[in-house]
Structure 1
Amino acid sequence: MFQLPEKFAYWWGIPREEIDWYPKIDESKCVGCGMCFLSCGRKVFDYDFERRKSVVARPLQCMVGCTSCEVWCVFNAISFPDRNYVKELIKKKGILKKVKEKLEELRENQ
């Protein structure tokens, strides 16, 4: 079983397993260019060389709110949940307060 690295285990104090945010690949549109696999810095994807397609191998390593791979996919094979999901999560979980606290901490430590 895959063990989620500690650095990806939480997003603003929320266990990553509780957040439904990761890419999905429409295999009928994917041409196997590998752009998502090679470009994702969080190693969300693997590449299936036999099938010549990228696969979402580590979905919980995806940065909440990031859609870079969707933007890079010129064949529109990658999709994410509605972006409003993340905005509602930010409101519901009080994340803006946490952000302000972090900014204040950074300002004090300058």
Structure 2
Amino acid sequence: MALREIPREKIPWYPTVDADVCIGDRQCVEFCKNGVFEWDEDRNRPVVMNPFNCVVGCSACANICPVDAIRFPSLQEIRDVIRRLREEVTAK
């Protein structure tokens, strides 16, 4: 069964930004071509505005962050969620 048979909104794979660590260099906003991040002028930091635009398994933005302010769930956690969702789809 392909991943595309599971609605993207059910897969909790998206970044979180640690505001205490973020230096506001905007690299994540500029780097992500899927529009996951937007710049919040009021808080002067990136915010995850479109979490489900994030490609499941992609963590490239975390890799380019110079201060490791971007986190993702563990891959094992996501595998477990996907496995459970696949079982639900096939049981229908």
Select which of 46, 71, 77 maps to 1:54: 46
Identical positions, percent: 37
Contact 2:11 2:82 in 1 (8 A): no
Aligned residues: 84
Alignment of 1:85-96 (within 5 A): 85-89=77-81, 91=83, 93=86
Select which of 14, 21, 24 maps to 2:16: 24
| Structure 1 unmatched ranges of 5 or more | 1-10, 95-110
Deviations 1:42-61 (A, max 9, x none): 00000012322111000011
Match of 1:66 in 2: 58
Alignment of 1:75-94 (within 5 A): 75-89=67-81, 91=83, 93=86
Runs of 4+ in 1 over 6 A off after TM superposition: none
Deviations 1:55-107 (A, max 9, x none): 1000011101100011011111000000113333555538xxxxxxxxxxxxx
Alignment TM-score, normalising by the size of structure 2: 0.81
Q: Hey, what's the Cα distance between the residues in 2 that align with 1:50 and 1:90?
A: 36
| Structure 2 unmatched ranges of 5 or more | 88-92
